[in-house]
Every structure is written in structure tokens, then in C-alpha cells.
């Protein structure tokens, strides 16, 4: 009777391992989302942020770019990069896409 007897705590230990595994998987999922999905949708290169990217065909893409104070619409094709000015050019490109 002088000896202490402890109950087995395997069920509690297994539950803690399951919680640890779930939290670890959640952290890995958040890391992957931030690394690959969020960063690609919020690309910033030398102070220029990509607001939207619209593929018109296999060889041409329209980007909407933003700097600190201005927005630009740029057409990238196999012929190079062209900044689109005015509402008519932008509407024409939207109709093509």
C-alpha cells in the first residue's frame, strides 16, 4: 500500500500526438499557400505590383500593373511589350480576350 500506482496514460499521449500532427499539417498548408499561391497573386518587382493578368492567346498577355501612384495596362506579346493608352485600346483588347 505504500507504493504509488499510476494509471496508463496512453490514450492521452495518442490524443496529444494526433493534435500535434494536425497542427503541423495546418502549418505546412499555410506555408505552402503563402509561398506559392499568395505570393504569385501579389507579385512585386522593383516597386511594381501585378494587379491582374489576362491571357489573350498562347503568345499574348495583358497585365494591369500598379506603382505607388499610377496604374498601367501593358500588352506582352511575341513582338514585345506595349503600354496601352486610352480607353479605346483597352476596350479593343478586352473585346479580343
Residues 46-95 have pLDDT tens digits of 777 777 778 887 788 888 878 777 888 888 888 887 777 755 555 555 55
84 and 57 in a single domain? The answer is yes
51 and 88 in a single domain? The answer is yes
16 and 36 in a single domain? The answer is yes
- Give CA–CA dist 97/90, Å, rounded: 11
Whether residue 1 lies inside any domain: the answer is no
Q: In which residue are the cell numbers 497573386 written?
A: 41
Whether residue 15 lies inside any domain: the answer is yes
**Domain range for 53:** 44-96
* Number of separate domains in the chain: 2
Cell (9 digits) for 64: 494591369
Whether residue 2 lies inside any domain: the answer is no
pTM, rounded to two decimals:
0.43
53 and 65 in a single domain? The answer is yes
Cell (9 digits) for 21: 500532427
Amino acid at each position: 500500500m505504500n507504493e504509488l500506482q499510476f494509471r496508463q496514460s496512453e490514450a492521452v499521449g495518442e490524443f496529444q500526438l494526433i493534435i500535434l500532427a494536425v497542427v503541423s499539417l495546418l502549418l505546412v498548408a499555410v506555408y505552402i499557400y503563402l509561398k506559392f499561391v499568395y505570393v504569385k497573386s501579389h507579385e512585386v518587382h522593383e516597386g511594381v505590383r501585378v494587379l491582374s493578368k489576362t491571357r489573350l492567346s498562347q503568345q499574348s498577355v495583358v497585365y494591369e500593373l500598379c506603382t505607388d501612384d499610377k496604374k498601367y495596362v501593358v500588352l506582352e506579346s511575341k513582338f514585345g511589350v506595349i503600354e496601352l493608352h486610352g480607353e479605346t485600346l483597352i476596350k479593343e483588347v478586352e473585346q479580343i480576350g
